[in-house]
Chains A and B, each alone.
Chain A
């Protein structure tokens, strides 16, 4: 499965180039953010070939990018970023967003300290597992009528807040305030509604999780002070997406856009990169539906946080406000967004695809809430269940990556290889010895998601920090994990 034939040119210690001439048809070069250590893994699969394939997209601007958590996906590599110039016929590709539209993460702080609650962590994790619906096709306790389903697609997290499942402050601390404009429920198929029904407030399966963590390292004291974060503080991280609703929208539009390849004379080496010019009726329809799924996902994570806050209230016997359970931020890592950038001295509207990559706006960016104007956008990087997770902030230097950074650790071992080589009982003992409790619905999930199947997130974050495309704020380690 290795991809050793892709020869990379070194730009500097953290950036590597796939020359435009590598494959006839590439419109721009590829740039991979990685150091020597990470590069060894990158050559092990077909991810670099996929970076080159993305460079075929009509209207792609500057380069096809990959973040250091890059690995083999379908169509785009995971960790891939591509911006297309709308005015110049730039395209949007549903495969550049993926099936789990607006898969993303949210980070919630608490004022609880590890030393105070360490004896209650097991009880807390078991209660979270019992109250937060997990697993394939799981259905939630949050009841949504057919009329409300459509409301969610427009209102996003605001729907949950109006129901009493959160506050206005939560919306302020969510990308797009939890509801991107331009969502078009008429572009959503009946099947997508049927598939997404009753899945609001459910975690899902695979690499999705809800994790109780403790801050174990501070990197930027000033920003930590600004956010009210300190060593030993308990945090809550939620990783989930748009569930069956989003999968169906991607499936519908990959299918519908197939004829666009011929219609718009688009030549891509992989049909999963099927696309249409952003200004075409086909693309407008897709973006309208994709935004519905994005809003569905933000509302889903808002509902999940509400369920988790309720569990904390029950276990610790006080209101969530009293425990300081405020949302730090919620950010998508599978999405296409229309953003403005200065390219060659001219301001342009670009369609930025982030497929397993996180938006990372710098201090002062107009899209940020007032409270983050000074420090920049919080960027949340989940690691695997045995190592660490990070809070970073965006930087001005990330203009070179269309304000994008990594999204996680990135897999190195396939699920089948993990299943073959890792024993569940040994793994659970190992995690327990590190003080990590894991509860999962699917019996295969824990092994498939074992730390050995992932790159070390510390190495990945070192690259984005040292390359300057985001800045380390603090690090967490897991205490309890619930998974699907």
Chain B
């Protein structure tokens, strides 16, 4: 996903109602109401698409690109590559591990991940290369502490895969 596409999901600052509307009509993910935390329902044409869209949705909740100084072009913003390997007992655990590994790396390395290349994915194993930009180039809206197992669902639906996950924020 390019930087400009990430931006399309957002309305202008302080017009949060519009922002939510934009997310819902975009259909990339929906927010699930939760009293204290934030949940999402996200879809993908296949499993890779689901993992990719869930990661995009998570970082979309976390923040948005800060305005770029006019002299800088999008191409000049450096991206940093990180390799991820995850193993799990089952698909749901793999899904939560994937999101938590991204959150952990994002926080430890000060990166906002914007691009996800998933090379291998089955029910127990994932290998991916993810690309992040320095978080200082972003306006951070919400700190996500972790993805949780509470009410977690990862299932095949007509036309692809769907997941529901609640984040501790």
Interface residues of A, Cβ cutoff 8 Å to B = 1, 44-45, 47, 71-75, 78, 95, 98-100, 135-137, 191, 194-195, 204-206, 244, 247-248, 250-251, 254-255, 258-259, 270-272, 274, 411-417, 419-420, 424-425, 442-444, 447, 484
The CA of A444 and the CA of B10, in the complex, are separated in Å by 13
Known: A136-B142, A137-B107, A270-B149. 12 other contacts (CB 8 A): A71-B36, A72-B34, A74-B150, A136-B140, A137-B110, A205-B140, A206-B143, A250-B146, A255-B97, A414-B33, A416-B20, A443-B139
Q: Is the CB of A447 within 8 A of B16?
A: yes
- B residues 1-53 near A (Cβ < 8 Å) are 13-14, 16-17, 20, 31, 33-38
B141 to A, closest residue via Cβ: A444
Q: Is the CB of A194 within 8 A of B108?
A: yes
The CA of A255 and the CA of B166, in the complex, are separated in Å by 16
Q: Is the CB of B36 within 8 A of A191?
A: no
Interface residues of B, Cβ cutoff 8 Å to A = 13-14, 16-17, 20, 31, 33-38, 62, 89, 93, 97, 100, 103-104, 107-110, 135, 139-143, 145-146, 148-152, 166, 168-169
Q: Is the CB of B14 within 8 A of A78?
A: no
Q: Which of A44, A195, A447 sits near B104, CB closer than 8 Å?
A: A195
Q: Is the CB of A74 within 8 A of B110?
A: no
Which 6 pairs across A and B sit closest by C-beta, in order of nearness? A74-B150, A271-B149, A74-B148, A194-B108, A136-B143, A99-B145
Q: Write the nearest CB–CB distance from A390 to chain B, whole angstroms.
A: 21
B residues within 8 A CB of A250? 146
Q: Is the CB of A443 within 8 A of B35?
A: no
The CA of A205 and the CA of B141, in the complex, are separated in Å by 10
Q: Is the CB of B16 within 8 A of A444?
A: yes
A193 to B, closest residue via Cβ: B108
Q: Which of A413, A419, A447 sits near B35, CB closer than 8 Å?
A: A413
Instruction: Evaluate whether A74 and B89 lie within 8 angstroms (CB atoms) in the complex, with A99-B146, A191-B108, A272-B148 already known.
Output: no
Q: Is the CB of B20 within 8 A of A484?
A: no
Q: Which of A72, A75, A254, A443 sits near B36, CB closer than 8 Å?
A: A72
The CA of A419 and the CA of B140, in the complex, are separated in Å by 16
Q: Is the CB of A195 within 8 A of B107?
A: yes
Instruction: Evaluate whether A254 and B33 lie within 8 angstroms (CB atoms) in the complex, with A443-B141, A484-B143 already known.
Output: no
Q: Is the CB of A74 within 8 A of B166?
A: yes
27 A-B residue pairings within 8 Å (CB atoms)? A72-B35, A74-B37, A78-B36, A99-B146, A100-B145, A136-B140, A137-B107, A137-B135, A194-B108, A205-B140, A206-B142, A247-B103, A247-B104, A251-B100, A255-B97, A271-B152, A411-B35, A414-B36, A414-B38, A419-B16, A420-B17, A442-B140, A442-B142, A443-B13, A444-B16, A444-B141, A447-B16
Q: Write the nearest CB–CB distance from B123 to chain A, whole angstroms.
A: 15
The CA of A47 and the CA of B140, in the complex, are separated in Å by 29
Q: Is the CB of B20 within 8 A of A206?
A: no
A271 to B, closest residue via Cβ: B149
Q: Is the CB of B38 within 8 A of A416?
A: yes
Q: Which of B20, B97, B104, B152 sits near A420, CB closer than 8 Å?
A: B20
B residues within 8 A CB of A411? 35-36
A residues within 8 A CB of B151? 270
Q: Write the nearest CB–CB distance from B63 to chain A, whole angstroms.
A: 8
Q: Write the nearest CB–CB distance from A253 to chain B, whole angstroms.
A: 12
Q: Write the nearest CB–CB distance from B113 to chain A, whole angstroms.
A: 14
A453 to B, closest residue via Cβ: B35
The CA of A206 and the CA of B37, in the complex, are separated in Å by 10
Q: Is the CB of B35 within 8 A of A251?
A: no
